[in-house]
Structure 1
Amino acid sequence: MNQLGDTRLRTWTLRFMALLAADTQDQLVWLGERELETKDVIEEVEILCRVPEGLAERGVFEHGDLHDLRAIGRRLGEIDSTCRVDLWGNALTTDPAWEDIRSHARRFLLTSLGDWRQPLPRPVRPHTGDH
């Protein structure tokens, strides 16, 4: 991949990790009125946890930085299928898996950037079906 593509993937990884690392209340504020399904968030994070492996091969991330991403991927795999059908906002407050994921995301950011407190990504506007 080219350097610009690697930079974008690194930025995407760090922004999503910032969202996962945020306090629950900050995550809920970020969600606002959006109704994200937990299964969709899990799918996105599972991809996110695989992408940095290739980036580490190209020197964008250190191999040691990936330990917590792998742990997040394992923890996501342990989330029961019945917990995946709920809205993510509800899961954040009821499923202890998200607290574990938060801890790993914080360690990843601390290792990668020196501080887990990072600006949250801009929320994506809900799709309205209008063009």
Structure 2
Amino acid sequence: MNHLGDANLRTWVLRFTALLAADAPDQLAWLRERELETKDVVDELELLCRISEGLTERGAFAPQNLRSFRAIGRRLGEIDTACRTGLWADALSADPAWSEIRDLARQVLLTALGDWRQPLPRPVRPHTGDH
């Protein structure tokens, strides 16, 4: 890694990957107070896969991580457009693609951190404009 920005991006990628790798009940518990649209999650995940390319080139991830990220990207591309609508909490249990993505995310974490069991990301508070 050669940039502070790379370290921050790597952290963001790993946090999102931890959410993807979590057991389904943990994912659903995390989503309980959030209404994330599946389309938005897919968009973020596609961005994560693109970012991982550059991070790997700069040494922030091992080549085997990139293979897993590329496999995640391919699997995302196979998700039918109709399955990208609605809440992600519903899609997690209805679409088997998310189980396969969970396994691939676990591979990333095993390679990068030695264990796929990682804390889930803390919620981001919406910006209200107040100081």
Q: Name the TM tier (shorter chain).
A: over 0.9
Which amino acid in the other structure matches residue 104 of structure 2?
Answer: H
Aligned equivalents of 1:88, 1:117: Cα separation in 2 = 21
Q: In the alignment, which residue of structure 1 is the partner of 2:88?
A: 88
* Match of residue 104 from structure 1: 104
Correspondence for 1:54? 54
Q: Is the 8 A contact 2:18 2:109 kept in 1?
A: yes
Q: Deviations over 1:86-106 (max 9, x none)?
A: 100000011100000000000
The Cα shift of 1:4 comes to: 1.0
Stretches of 4+ aligned residues off by more than 4 angstroms: none
Contact 2:2/2:58 (<8 A) preserved: no
For 1:123 and 1:89, the matched residues in 2 are separated by 16
Aligned residues with identical type, % of pairs: 67
Task: Calculate the aligned-residue CA RMSD, in Å.
Answer: 1.5
Number of corresponding residues: 129
Letter of the aligned partner of 1:23 in structure 2?
D
Match of 1:31?
31
The answer as to whether partners of 2:41 and 2:88 remain within 8 angstroms in 1 is yes
* Closer, same or farther: CA 2–37 of 1 in aligned 2, 3 Å: same
1:26-75 deviation digits (Å, cap 9, x = unpaired): 01111122111000000000000111111111111112221111110000
- 2:45 aligns to what SS in structure 1? helix
Structure 2 letter corresponding to 1:85 = T
User: Residue type of the partner of 1:30?
Assistant: W
Question: Is there any run of 5+ residues in structure 2 with no aligned partner, and where?
Answer: none
Distance across 2 between alignment mates of 1:116 and 1:130: 34
TM-score, normalised on structure 2?
0.92
